[in-house]
Amino acid sequence: MRLQKINITHINNHYWSKKTVGGVFAMEFSLCATDCALPVEVTIDDDNGRYTIRKSDTSGEFFNTAQELVQWIQENFTADQFCNEDEFKEMMLQLLVYNVFQ
């Protein structure tokens, strides 16, 4: 099967995800946080085993699995911490769907 990239970009460029079909998968999110000008960045990159969160204070979290990353987000972030709560909710939906198909 040939790998095919699918890119989805939100209009305001604060949120994006990208998928590669054929067993290789990567998602990246960049969400505007209310407490800082720097965005929160969430990366799930199965191909390279990279599961990271860069928080708005530029500190980071690293995980061994995507499931650990999603669990950390559920325990530590809420929608009201972000400029656009709908972007956070959409990210969570995509992450939960991703976990279901793992």
- State yes or no: pLDDT of 66 exceeds 90: yes
CB 28 within 8 A of CB 17: yes
What is the pLDDT at residue 23?
55
Give me the number of domains the chain comprises.
1
Q: Specify the pTM.
A: 0.76
Q: Which domain holds residue 38?
A: 4-100
CB 98 within 8 A of CB 44: yes
Mean pLDDT, the chain, whole residue set: 81
How far is residue 40 CA from its own chain's centroid?
9
Among candidates 58, 99, 53, 98, which has minimal Cα distance to 76? Answer: 53
Question: Helices 66-76 and 85-100 sit at what angle, rounded to 10 degrees?
Answer: 150
CB 7 within 8 A of CB 13: no
Q: Which residue has the higher pLDDT, 41 or 17?
A: 41
